[in-house]
Chain A
Amino acid sequence: MTFSFGNRKQRDILLQAVFLAVILTMLLIAVMTTRRNLEIQGLSVGWSFLNYATGSSIVFSLIDYDLDSSFARALLVGFINTLFLGTISVSLAVLLGTVIGTARLSSHKLVKSIAGVYVQIFRNIPLILQAFFWYAIFVNFPSPRQAIAVQGGFFISNRGIFFPMFNIEAWYLLAAIALFIIGSVISVTVARRTGRGSSLVGILISLALACIIGYAGRLADTPLFDMPQPKGLRFLGGGTMTPELGSAIVAIALFGASYVAEIVRAGFLSIPAGLIEAAHALGLGNWHIFWRIRLPLMIRRILPTMTNQIIWLMKATTIGIAIGFPDYFGVVANSINHSGQTISLIFLLIIGFWAINMTISFTMNAINRALALPGHKK
């Protein structure tokens, strides 16, 4: 068989082979160069460094960590921090964004314009500048000695915001909260689907179970519930939100909310007017039309866009590094400085974010499928 360039099939195979060869050559050159450069620096690519002690501290950690902890432990701390910051700030952004997006379509002109101004301001200023701004506000609060005391045991100072907190190990507390939320969602769904039984019973059972888990995880020799007490330059007891964490949450939540608001608004606008008119014709009041018709339809319509937005906001948590919050990216960057294991660490960085993205899109797709109305294919 002879090759002819005029034969489309053979030409396609040749073109693809050339394309693949070029890509592979480039990759090969990169790998070889890297290996040689690392040899010059006296480093070998591998994973053994993960067991070495980092010798550096991390300012915010939800799990035990000290100078002797390994790189693997440090990376875990960073990963948990990213999940922690991301979950809190993205949830706040979605909640606030939904309210503002709804307000943008209000028939009340003042509400509408306030929401509009909010969206325009927070959308059009870079996130990192907003993070700097909030960080400057947080670190310029009065010192702990002159901390602003707020009713209910809250103290605001430049060392962070101190609040009353259960003395429960973090994992138990998280498990208890997760159990309560999942239990409530399941009982509400079951009660709705079957039309029998009250969801209240299920919610109460999950609350009781959550309390038992929380009680089991309480820290020894401390009261179960603790108020922060001022003591010199520190506060004893209670929980702390550091300025880094606080300003990162505020910045991402407010910035994200302006984007979520636009998605929510577009979702409401995409509902066919006929559906709303039909609801009016059936005699439903405005309140019912909102809760029973517009909101459920809007949520179903925006889910795919919202998935992308949530993934984008999770990635935006990396700006934490600018204000000193040690998220996963920050810890990876720091570990590269300390160990020189560039290639392995970048690989772990990619895997970490890939895992987060996959989890989000998997969950959102599952929600999308569960909520889809039969016969309503888009």
Chain B
Amino acid sequence: MTATTEIQAPALNDSLLDSVRRDYFSSVGRTILTLVCLALILSALWFLVNWGLVNAVWFGTPEDCHKAAGACWAVITDRYRLIFFGLYPYEEQWRSALACLAILATVILSCVPFFWSAKRLPVLWALGYGLFYFLMKGGVFGMPVVLETQWGGLALTVFVFSSTVVIGMPLAIVLALLRRSRLPVVSTVTALFIDGIRSLPLLSILFTAAIILPLTLPGFLVGDKLYRVIIGAAVFFAVYQAEIIRSGIQSLPAGQEEAATALGLNYWQTISRIVLPQAFRFALPPTINQVVIAFMETALIVILGFFEITASGNAAFSTGGWKPFHTEVYSFVALIYFVFTYSLSMYGSYLERSMKLGLR
């Protein structure tokens, strides 16, 4: 017989002090960990508040900033129009701002379940995207024409992003359906195409679209460099999205498609009324993730010489004596990306949680 020790039942109502002691100071190791974490958090906060708020310069010239110890937000307040709108004509920049808001509203409305139908969502995007394009380009309602070469900053980022999604999403559905085709030649060729593109870096696709396509396309198809790059980004988005949709379709029970066939629905009815609506439900969280990635990857076009928000940020501090204040500009641009991507990915994980509840 071995001696037994009696284990006490945990106290029913432990006080705040008890739970703090248990969570943070129950052993030597835990105490050290707590102290290290506290030191880390406090010093980071101390630095951020001092650098970013207390000692920061909000308005003024580079000279004012050199005197101060903190952040130089003056570069932002001085140059924010360049960062947001690039080289868009100064008097017309309100159009650029409105256009960005139109896309923002479209993205937010797309998150409302009311719009999740095969009819409403395309209409919503066509409206939002069309509004963006006409506001930016002008030529109607007395707005002067502004060519794509003058678009820049946040507006260009938003344009490339929304075009990528608008072109890429239908393409992804087509690719996913082709890859699932009953016909072996069709599915093999599509699979080769999808896996081939997936194995390449996005940058090389964009580079090919910008530099190589003019060589390989007949003259009338070449088009503007910006649109070729957008097509490249859309194809890259589509091959990833196609795999997401395909796995969504595969997670449907086979009985769904069989039942549809048994009821006498033809291929298009089965796909559009039975398969895709359910597949998108499964595919929604990874789709949102893919959209977030597509948004961040628009930043790559800076390498091809486009004046999107990363490039306009670079331009904002490279002249006029603002050179030392790159950290402030990059933080500001990063914040713009962060607000959008963080809220979208939070929404994605909220959806994932609520869908798990439904399936449990």
Do A and B come together as binding partners? Answer: yes
B contact residues, total (Cβ < 8 Å) = 51
**CA separation between A16 and B188, bound complex, in Å?**
11
Interface string of A244-284 (1 = CB under 8 A from B): 00000000000000000000000000000000000000000
B189 at the interface (CB under 8 A from A): yes
**Contacts of B215-231 to chain A: CB distance below 8 A:** 215-218
The answer on a CB contact under 8 Å between A108 and B23 is yes
Closest chain B residue to A125 by CB distance?
B334
Question: B24, B40, B186, B345: which has the most chain A beta carbons within 10 Å?
Answer: B186
With A108-B37, A114-B37 in contact, do A23 and B189 touch (Cβ < 8 Å)? yes
Closest chain B residue to A30 by CB distance?
B216
With A16-B186, A30-B216, A125-B334 in contact, do A318 and B302 touch (Cβ < 8 Å)? no
Chain B residues, Cβ within 8 Å of A12:
182-183
**Contacts of B195-221 to chain A: CB distance below 8 A:** 196, 199-204, 207-208, 211-212, 214-218
In the complex, which of the residues A34, A140, A315, A336 contacts B216, with contact meaning CB atoms closer than 8 Å? A34
**CA separation between A114 and B341, bound complex, in Å?**
19
A316 at the interface (CB under 8 A from B): yes
Task: State the main secondary structure of chain B at its contact with A.
Answer: helix
Which of A181-189, A348-356, A364-372 sits within the interface?
A348-356
**Contacts of A294-330 to chain B: CB distance below 8 A:** 311, 315-316, 318-319, 321-322, 329
**CA separation between A350 and B205, bound complex, in Å?**
10
**Contacts of A22-78 to chain B: CB distance below 8 A:** 23, 29-31, 33-34, 37-38
B333 at the interface (CB under 8 A from A): yes
The answer on a CB contact under 8 Å between B297 and A126 is yes
The answer on a CB contact under 8 Å between A322 and B302 is yes
**CA separation between A333 and B299, bound complex, in Å?**
19
Chain B residues, Cβ within 8 Å of A349:
200, 204
Closest chain B residue to A29 by CB distance?
B218
Chain A residues, Cβ within 8 Å of B40:
114
**CA separation between A16 and B302, bound complex, in Å?**
41
A92 at the interface (CB under 8 A from B): no
The answer on a CB contact under 8 Å between B201 and A121 is no
Size class of the A contact interface (CB-based, 8 Å): 35 or more
The answer on a CB contact under 8 Å between B310 and A132 is yes
Chain A residues, Cβ within 8 Å of B212:
342-343, 346
The answer on a CB contact under 8 Å between A127 and B216 is no
Closest chain B residue to A8 by CB distance?
B182
The answer on a CB contact under 8 Å between A19 and B34 is no
The answer on a CB contact under 8 Å between A350 and B200 is yes
**How near does chain B come to A198, taking the closest CB pair, in angstroms?**
30
Closest chain A residue to B335 by CB distance?
A125
Chain B residues, Cβ within 8 Å of A108:
23-24, 30, 33-34, 37
Chain A residues, Cβ within 8 Å of B327:
133, 136-137
Interface string of B10-33 (1 = CB under 8 A from A): 000000000000011000001001
The answer on a CB contact under 8 Å between B217 and A33 is yes
**CA separation between A333 and B207, bound complex, in Å?**
8
The answer on a CB contact under 8 Å between A110 and B38 is yes
**CA separation between A12 and B330, bound complex, in Å?**
56
Chain B residues, Cβ within 8 Å of A114:
37, 40-41
**How near does chain A come to B21, taking the closest CB pair, in angstroms?**
13
Closest chain A residue to B212 by CB distance?
A342
Question: A30, A121, A128, A349: which has the most chain B beta carbons within 10 Å?
Answer: A128
15 contacting pairs across A/B (C-beta < 8 A):
A12-B183, A29-B218, A33-B218, A110-B24, A110-B37, A110-B38, A111-B33, A129-B299, A132-B314, A140-B324, A318-B203, A319-B203, A329-B207, A346-B208, A350-B196
**Those 5 A-B pairs whose CB atoms lie nearest each other, nearest first:** A110-B37, A315-B201, A126-B299, A16-B185, A126-B296
Binding site for A on B (CB under 8 A): 23-24, 30, 33-34, 37-38, 40-41, 182-186, 189, 196, 199-204, 207-208, 211-212, 214-218, 292, 296-297, 299-300, 302-303, 310, 314, 324, 326-327, 330, 333-334, 337-338, 341-342, 345
